[in-house]
Amino acid sequence: MHEAYHAACAYERQISASTWRYASAAAVLGVMVTDRLAAGRPPLSGETVGAVADEEPALAQLRQTVAVRHDQMLTEDEDGLQGGERRRALVQGVESAYDCVMNERSAGVCRTETEAGACRLTEVSPEGVEPFWIDLLEPVLDLAESMPTQIARWVRHRGRARHF
């Protein structure tokens, strides 16, 4: 039983880490695209999209993503109170992850905030403890899943605005 338990735990962690990598990259990319649409800036280059989509974001990039005021990017019939609560949970989760990364000793020394910001959570979460991304997984997955809808709404919204 002990052997089966450890194999199941390792499998669960591996699946969670894969999900985290892709969800966090999708959330960052989605927010980048939506932010550009909301601000009327030109689209991202294909090279930038590929670079962001291909790799788990560093913690500082994730912090920057959740700091974006999503309510400023929303179209008229959006989120309200639930959106604010989700945003606060994301911000709080990222700050907790920063604390974990900074307090995890690397070569016997705690990381600075800048060093922590350069880390990817799947790479610095030690084995045998709950991964640093685990509390962020669900809210980041929700954000990543909502981004295509947000982008579609902005595209429709901008299309209607051009007709007036």
Q: In this predicted structure, what is the pLDDT of residue 155?
A: 84
Whether 13 contacts 131, CB under 8 Å: yes
What pLDDT, on a 0 to 100 scale, did the predictor assign at position 83? 65
- Asked if residue 5 has pLDDT above 80, the reply is yes
Give the mean pLDDT of the chain: 85
Residue 110's pLDDT band (cuts 50, 70, 90): confident
- The four Cα atoms 88, 92, 97, 100 give a dihedral, to 10 degrees, of -170
- Show contacts of 1-5: CB within 8 Å, 24+ apart: none
One-letter amino acid at 130 equals E
- Mean local confidence (pLDDT), 34-42: 88
Global pTM? 0.83
pLDDT band, very low/low/confident/very high, at 87 (cuts 50, 70, 90): confident
Least confident of 14-28, 47-61, 76-90, 140-154: 76-90
